[in-house]
Amino acid sequence: MHTLNHAFFKALLFLGAGVKVPAINPAIFWELLYQPIITKIDTGQSEGNLRYYILKILRGHMQEVINIKLICLDYNTSSLVFICSSIFLISKLNYSLKAESNKLNIDQKNIEGTINKNFSSYLAGLFEGDGCVWIPKKERDKNNNIIYPLITLTFNAKDLPLIILLQERLGIGHIYKNKGKNAYTYRISNLKNLVKFINIINGYMRTPKIYKLNDLIDYINNKGYNLNKYSLDISPLISNAWLSGFIEADGHFSVRVSVDKNNILKRIACSLEICQRQNDLDGYNYFNVLSLIGKFILCQVKRTKSNSKNAQYRIRTTSLSGNINLKFYLLKYPLFSRKYLDFKDWLAVLNYFENKQHKIKYNEIVKNKSSMNDRRTFFCWNHLQNFYKLHN
């Protein structure tokens, strides 16, 4: 009797395995095999969480195993003992799974709480100004190699120290020199790295580029991940470093000095200008976000190049009050590219305006202007010592 009972349940074991293995969700199977756990940042805990996924799969199919065994309840007493043992095992698995799940949730909350929101918002602004998302239409190329989606950020070649530091903080991606151009590209591929980057900036987006990011999230989730799609950040600009990152990408500090034909001072002005295309490649319009920034620095959105293919929106500070708003913002959330040096020269000129000295400080202002933007030949990167850490 014992031998028959053992043989019967051993047969059920192998039959059940044959039924259940193909039924395991391919996404769960893929995640178990290649990426045991994806959290909002790279925690290095993948080995410890493998047990969680195994238990998750077991629990998902255990009730059906119970049902099979309950059908055989009337065969003999030993079957009842076997079923009781099985139910005890299932209870232990469920308890263990619940404990692992609770631990995972606590860990995730703790991890999310350690992310520096100024790093996240700064990186989001940088990405929205000069970043790009590329999603492949095919899974593999003609040589059967996997084609991964990409996130890229483009920088002026003079900002290489910042790019290197950014890569060091993130711990992902590669830097490439753009052939024939005075620029570098910071490229992030590989699903694990893309997930890390997305989880850092997710929730801090303010432009229509969020729709392209959401397309990428859909693509990645179809591979077995479970990334959230957050709505646009509508918090006040002063609440985080997003505008600093956006200025790094698309802002331009300028000082203008003009004289008349008799070399008599005619005008002195300092301003920040930001330009963006009116519509991106997917047809989304950028007026709202430029208008939001314009309200903060007290200026109106202007349309430029309206008759060309590259029609743009432009905002430019035109008042002392608008420049002062910008000053205090950038002192709180600093720039880190070469534009930080332009900001310092710009700030010196602004201080002359605040103290009503701009007309008598003509020579000093001309000197400040002479080393700004493309005219700068000397670069000091001491300010990178204050660059944001990824974690608080």
Please check whether residues 21 and 91 belong to one and the same domain.
Answer: yes
Please check whether residues 203 and 144 belong to one and the same domain.
Answer: yes
Strand partners, 177: 184
Please check whether residues 211 and 135 belong to one and the same domain.
Answer: yes
Q: Which residue has the higher pLDDT, 335 or 23?
A: 335
- Please report whether residue 121 resides in a domain: yes
Q: Any idea what the CATH number is for the domain that residue 158 is in?
A: 3.10.28.10
Q: Which residue has the higher pLDDT, 31 or 251?
A: 251
Please check whether residues 191 and 93 belong to one and the same domain.
Answer: no
Please check whether residues 129 and 209 belong to one and the same domain.
Answer: yes
Strand partners, 133: 151
> What is the residue-averaged pLDDT of the chain?
82
Q: Which residue has the higher pLDDT, 25 or 185?
A: 185
pLDDT band at 310 (very low <50, low <70, confident <90, very high): confident
CA distance 5 to 254: 87
Give all strands (DSSP E) within 71-212, no chain letters. Answer: 131-134, 150-156, 174-177, 183-188
- Please report whether residue 150 resides in a domain: yes
CA nearest to 125, candidates 12, 280, 251? 251
State the amino acid at position 348 in one-letter form. A
Overall domain count for the chain: 2
| Domain coverage including residue 146 | 117-221
Instruction: Match 């709480």 to its residue by tokens.
Output: 113
CA distance 387 to 392: 12
Please check whether residues 109 and 138 belong to one and the same domain.
Answer: no
Q: Which residue has the higher pLDDT, 59 or 372?
A: 372
Instruction: Match 């606590």 to its residue by tokens.
Output: 106
Which of 72-86, 251-265, 301-315 shows the highest mean pLDDT?
301-315
Please check whether residues 7 and 109 belong to one and the same domain.
Answer: yes
- Per-residue pLDDT for 118 more than 80? yes
Please check whether residues 105 and 121 belong to one and the same domain.
Answer: no
Burial class (CB in 10 A: 0-12, 13-18, 19+), 56: middle
**Residue 300 in tokens:** 């109106």
Please check whether residues 158 and 70 belong to one and the same domain.
Answer: no
- Per-residue pLDDT for 162 more than 90? yes
As a whole number, mean pLDDT of residues 107-136 equals 84
In angstroms, what is the C-alpha Rg of the chain?
29
- Please report whether residue 276 resides in a domain: no
- Please report whether residue 372 resides in a domain: no
Please check whether residues 159 and 191 belong to one and the same domain.
Answer: yes
The last residue of a domain, from among 189, 221, 253: 221
**How many CA atoms are closer than 13 Å to the CA of 50, on its beta-carbon side?**
9
The last residue of a domain, from among 221, 254, 284: 221
As a whole number, mean pLDDT of residues 127-149 equals 93
Residue 180 phi/psi, 5° resolution? 75, 5
**Tens of pLDDT along 196-221?**
999 999 999 999 999 999 999 999 99
**How many CA atoms are closer than 13 Å to the CA of 254, on its beta-carbon side?**
13
Give all strands (DSSP E) within the chain, no chain letters. Answer: 131-134, 150-156, 174-177, 183-188, 251-259, 265-277, 302-304, 312-316
Q: What is the dihedral of CA 145, 148, 154, 155, to 10 degrees?
A: -80
Position 113 scores a pLDDT of 63
- Please report whether residue 211 resides in a domain: yes
- Please report whether residue 302 resides in a domain: no
- Please report whether residue 196 resides in a domain: yes
Strand partners, 265: 259
The last residue of a domain, from among 221, 245, 273: 221
CA distance 275 to 312: 7
CA distance 310 to 279: 9
What pTM value is reported for the model? 0.72
Position 42 scores a pLDDT of 55
As a whole number, mean pLDDT of residues 22-41 equals 45
- Please report whether residue 230 resides in a domain: no
Please check whether residues 123 and 59 belong to one and the same domain.
Answer: no
Q: Are 232 and 205 in contact (CB under 8 A)?
A: yes
Please check whether residues 142 and 126 belong to one and the same domain.
Answer: yes
CA distance 218 to 212: 10
**Tens of pLDDT along 339-360?**
999 999 999 999 999 999 988 8
For residue 69, give Cα distances in angstroms to 22, 87, 265. 21, 10, 96
Position 353 scores a pLDDT of 95
CA distance 330 to 75: 79
